[in-house]
Structure 1
Amino acid sequence: MTAMRTLPPTKRLLRASALAVLLWTLAGCSGGEKPAAQAPAVAKAASGAGGHEEGGGIKLAPEEVARSGIKLEQITPQAIADTVTVTATIRANQDRMARIAPRVEGRIATLHANLGDNVKAGQTLAVLDSLAVGEASATLIQAQSADRVAEADFKRATALNAEEIIPQKEFLRARSEHEKAQASLRAAEDRLQLLGVSPKQVNQRVVSTFPIVAPFAGTVIEKKVTVGSLASPSEPILVVADLSKVWIEANLGETMLSKVRVGANATVTLDAYPGETFAGRVTYVASLLDKDSRTVQARIEVENKDGRLKPEMFASATIASAPGATGKSGAAGQAQEAMSVPDAAIVLLQGQPTVFVFEHGGYEPRAILPGDKLAGRTIVKSGLTAGEQVVAAGSYALKARMLKSQIGDEH
């Protein structure tokens, strides 16, 4: 202290200032306040990757919003019909499907249909060559010849009998032979007809080929043979289906059974055609419960004139719970007020369904409790308030920014 007093006033002031800075630095390093790196993770995530954090939200410049494809939608309660939404699979209409097989074994001579071909009713799909058909046609030719001989003999006997030139028993014998020849001819024609060949095709020569024709107009959805392969009645060679109407098959949980009835209106959506809906009607609800899956099969019939609905495609079906009734919204089913967001607005953050809400100039992640899905939207049971603006498109871009920011902070 004596040395301090002997120093000039200016030097004493500089030394005191240096001592104060040293004490302040030591105090900061000893753990008074938490460093900025220990701030909550949500705030750090919202501040990275091109945006900056202000009030807990992701702030983006207008050009970044446009580049990310972000679109907002104001949440308002709307009248939503009471519905049931289930995942489903498109099937061909089993009532309009033909598994085509020959009536008799034969070898494929020619094929006139390929997979995906649209065919008309009665159109020839294939021509088969069969030994059995050849034998039947030969029998028919013999029967035709025998019938002509018997008929000529009977006509001659009839004329002679009228002149009383021949005994009565000769006339009766000729008539009997004629009747037997006619019976044999009809039997030969019927046998050939049963094999799928018209007797008119047999004209004094043996015919061994016969056509396979389409029973109705439709599309060839299966082809199991090639030219030269052997076809038999036990295995179909082609499958033709009328796809102008398709079935949407779904499995209903036990809790849904009280809401779904035959005749209920339904709306079908597919990932293949985003933004489009296909109207249908429930035509079947099974009477038995599957003991393994604890579900009941239901079927929705949908028009498919343009053929865009392909069998085995996955779909989502929304079924009105009150068939024929109309609520405030004008849709089938009892309407009720609810809030909903587009399906694309919802992302998973740490396993929790989340949407981004635009407030205070930033995009804030908000956990929600989702409800039923219908026509590309999801009902929100809790987590949002009417009037808030939600990111309807571009949520995944915001999620990517948050994840990128978190990864950068960990390093």
Structure 2
Amino acid sequence: MRIALPQSRRALMLVAVLAVLALLLAFVAVRSGPLAPVKVTVARIEERAIAPALFGIGTVEARYTHRIGPTAPGRIASLAVDVGDRVEAGQVLALIDPVDLDQRIAAASGSAGRSAALEQAAASQVTDASARLALARSEATRGEQLFRGGWLTRAALDQRRQALAGAEAALAAAQANRSAAVQDRGRTAAERAALQEQKANLRLVAPKAGLVVRRLAEPGTTVVAGQAVIEVVDPVELWINARFDQTRAGGITAGLPARVVLRSRIDTPMRGSVLRVEPVADAVTEEVLAKVTFDTGAGLPPIGELAEVTIALPARGRTLAVPNAAIHRIGSDVGVWTLRDGDLEFVALKLGVEDPSGWVQVLDGLAKGDQVILHSDRPLTASSRITVVDKLP
């Protein structure tokens, strides 16, 4: 026979069980749940020597690229080289069909002959006009003498003077015709020379020894003046177009040594140096651009390969430094979480250079011996409860 418990006793037992469960949940939440203290590791600010280095990413590029094409429109008749071929200076790379260029040269040659004949005819006209002028001048002089002696009338004298003026005008016209003929012959000769030069430029030759990296058109393709057909580079003259963060690029100058790690040769770094720092930075990515050359020309990488560049900046003396793992950005401020009298505080810093081992120079904001939060298992806020541990799992 079952004995029923009083209603009030059952209610008390239920409340007791719920209270125990609530305490258990609160204990779990405080010790290991979202309300648990954030586990952190700390580090002390110390003075140390900083050997700063600047890290950047770049691609291997040819220092000089020759884009070779015709100076007149035409159709590609033949290509003598392919991608990967090495060429010598003056070697014929391609031939362009001149289309109607030969006919234009022939027409210019005919025009030059016609201009020469016109010049010769004009010279003959000048000779004839000079002779007529001499005769008219002699007749006019004799007429003056006869008129003074009373042997010639005024009308006859005026006729001789008019004949002299006409002869002078005829000579001037003949000389002008000869000058025009000379200029026309020079013009037609220049046109023919220009057409011949255009035809010579339809033989595409290598300006210097190098490597063919691109073939931009195939035989039978019609190209316009100035269109590139073949690209040639000097494989020995390569550099890296490297990009560096503007906030860390202070002090980078030409001549600084560089360590280059190519993606295809991770285990064999190469030595290089900064050739120049570009005067125009990238305003979109906020990066400084620099050209880094290789110290040796042996075994250079293919063009376009990705490279990691580390530039050794001038060393600093002993200075305050903080591990870069402790640095955070909150809004527009860059700083660290510090532990002062057991309370968390975010301190904005003025930072300097960074060395390859991860230490960053502190110019302002911290003092020697200050404790900063190095790592935390959750993001921190000013109201976070923390517990300091030696190592995070």
TM-score (norm 1): 0.49
SS at match of 1:277: strand
Q: 1:184 maps to what in 2?
A: 187
Counterpart position of 1:84: 54
**1:196 maps to which residue?**
198
Whether the aligned pair in 2 keeps the contact of 1:143 and 1:181 (CA below 8 Å) is no
2:186 match: secondary structure: helix
Inter-partner Cα distance in structure 1 for 2:115 and 2:248:
70
Aligned to 1:394: none
**Match of residue 76 from structure 2:** 108
User: C-alpha distance in 1, partners of 2:286/2:277?
Assistant: 18
Q: Which of 216, 235, 241 is the matching residue for 1:224?
A: 216
SS of equivalent to 1:197: helix
CA separation in 2, counterparts of 1:141 and 1:100? 29
2:71, 2:202 within 8 Å by CA — same for their partners in 1? no
**Cα distance change of structure 1 residues 142 and 118 upon mapping to structure 2, 3 Å threshold:** same
Match of residue 121, structure 2, among 149, 153, 171: 153
Q: CA deviation at 1:248?
A: 0.8
> SS state of the match for residue 131, structure 1?
coil
Query: Is 1:263 matched up with 2:255?
Result: yes
After TM superposition, where is structure 1 displaced by more than 4 Å over at least 4 residues in a row?
Answer: 154-167, 333-336
Residue number among 272, 290, 299 corresponding to 1:279 in the alignment: 272
Paired residue type of 1:172 = Q
Q: Distance in 2 between matches of 1:178 and 1:303?
A: 63
Instruction: Give, as a single letter, the amino acid of the residue that structure 1 aligns with 2:228.
Output: P
Matches within 5 A, 1:327-366: 333=315
Q: CA deviation at 1:286?
A: 5.0
Q: Which has the higher contact order (CA 8 A, sep 6+)?
A: 2
Whole-angstrom CA distance in 1 between matches of 2:118 and 2:209: 45
CA distance in 2, matches of 1:81, 1:170: 87
Larger radius of gyration: 2
Q: Within 5 Å, which residues of 2 pair with 1:388-403?
A: none
C-alpha distance in 1 between matches for 2:296 and 2:88: 17
Q: CA deviation at 1:312?
A: 0.8
2:61–2:240: 8 Å Cα contact kept in structure 1? yes
Shift in Å at residue 256 of structure 1? Answer: 1.7
Partner of 2:112: 144
Matches within 5 A, 1:195-214: 196-197=198-199, 210-214=202-206
Secondary structure of the corresponding residue to residue 113 of structure 1: coil
Determine if contact 2:245/2:287 at 8 Å carries over to the other structure: yes
Amino acid at match of 1:189: R
CA contact (8 A) 1:88 1:316 kept: yes
Q: Which residue does 1:175 correspond to in 2?
A: 178
Q: How many residues align structurally?
A: 241
- Kindly indicate whether the alpha-carbon contact (under 8 Å) linking 2:263 and 2:305 is maintained by their aligned counterparts in 1: no
Shift of 1:300: 1.3
TM-score, with normalisation over the residues of structure 2?
A: 0.51
Q: Residue 238 of structure 1 aligns to which amino acid in structure 2?
A: I
Shift of 1:266: 1.7
- SS of match in other structure, 2:195: helix
Shift of 1:163: 6.0
How large is the RMSD of aligned CA atoms in angstroms? 3.6
Instruction: Give yes or no for the alignment of 1:133 onto 2:92.
Output: no
Q: Is the 8 A contact 1:245 1:304 kept in 2?
A: no
Pairs within 5 Å for 1:17-56: none
Q: How far does residue 319 in structure 1 lie from its aligned partner after superposition?
A: 0.8
Question: One-letter code of the match for 1:99?
Answer: R
Aligned mates of 2:53, 2:119 — CA distance in 1: 76
Identity %: 22
Contact 1:97–1:239 under 8 Å retained in 2: yes
What is the SS of the residue equivalent to 1:275? strand
In 2 relative to 1, CA 306–151 (structure 1 residues): closer, same or farther, beyond 3 Å? farther
Letter in 1 for 2:82: N
Question: Which sections of structure 1, spanning at least 5 residues, go unmatched?
Answer: 1-78, 199-208, 323-332, 337-370, 374-378, 382-411
Evaluate the alpha carbon distance shift between residue 294 and residue 180 of structure 1 in structure 2; reply closer, same or farther with a 3 A threshold. Answer: closer
Is the contact made by 1:109 and 1:227 (CA closer than 8 Å) also made in structure 2? yes
